[in-house]
Amino acid sequence: MQIGDIIGVVLAGAVMFFVLNFLNEADIAQGNMPVAQGGGYIGGFGSKNLAAPQAGLMAMLSQGIVGGQMTWPLIIFGMLMGLAFILMGVKSPMLVSVGMYLPLETTFAIFIGGITKGIVDMVAKKRKLNEAQRARVDNVGVLLAAGLIAGEALTGLAFAPFKIANMNITQSLYSNPSIVMGFTIIILVALGLIFIPIRNAGRADEPAPPSANF
């Protein structure tokens, strides 16, 4: 297993170097982050489309420690708050903490996903699904959500060459997007993530999937 993990890390790192560089060049070609001084626009990692909040947070912590300017009271407060979350039995203290530094568009998606999962649990409870059925519902839901995440990433890669060539092929569709269209898409995706897993719950007498045995 350790050898497999090492091989996976090395291969993934080698492949992702070219992918990330490709996305960086595509964003630079568009120019999405205004320069603080001198005018003009630059892009790449750190811009709006490639904010990299986790990398920015780690860089801020490293610079604070090395430079001796770390605000330790805030760090200690965060540690105590995390301990309080655990003692209170908060289901996902890490999500609460991560949501404090992620951009709003990311945390809003997590919020919508949490509401969707809550509705799925309510429907499963109302239909009195057993543990095996709930496990199948969770498995299908996780696969659907993972597919949406992977699909969004692949779509971004597909559009990257057009951005490098300064060809905005979606300008006619999204030059003035409607908020109604956005909410409609969100509702349709949420409904799919609710009804498709519930429909694949299976019969109560079917054997439990592997995840239900843990």
Alpha helices in the chain (DSSP H): 2-30, 53-67, 72-88, 93-98, 104-126, 131-164, 171-174, 179-199
Task: Look at phi and psi of residue 213 and say left if phi exceeds 0, alpha if psi is from -120 to 50, else beta.
Answer: alpha
Could you give the C-alpha distances from 181 to 68, 186, 192, in angstroms and in order? Answer: 49, 9, 17
Q: Is the dihedral of CA 139, 143, 145, 146 positive or negative?
A: positive
For tokens 């045995």, the residue is: 213
Residue type, 126: K
Quick: pLDDT tens for 159-178. Answer: 777 776 766 666 655 667 77
Predicted local distance difference test score (pLDDT) of residue 196: 93
Residue 6 has which token pair? 């090492």
Centre a 10 Å sphere on the Cβ of residue 33 and count the other Cβ atoms it contains: 19
| Backbone CA torsion sign across 93, 48, 156, 24 | negative
This prediction's pTM: 0.65
Q: Could you give the maximum distance between any two Cα atoms of the chain, in Å?
A: 69
Q: Would you mind telling me the total number of residues written for the chain in this entry? A: 214
Q: Residue 182 pLDDT more than 70?
A: yes
Tokens encoding 136: 């199948």
Each residue of 74-99: b (16+ CB within 10 Å) or e? eeeeeeeeeeebeeeeeeebeeeebe
Mean pLDDT of the chain: 80
List the single range of 108-117, 184-193, 204-213 with lowest mean pLDDT: 204-213
Q: d(Cα 178, Cα 100) in Å, to the nearest integer? A: 28
Rounded-to-integer distance, Cα 124 and Cα 133, Å: 9
Look at residue 202 in the predicted model and tell me its pLDDT.
83
Give me Rg for the CA atoms of the chain.
22
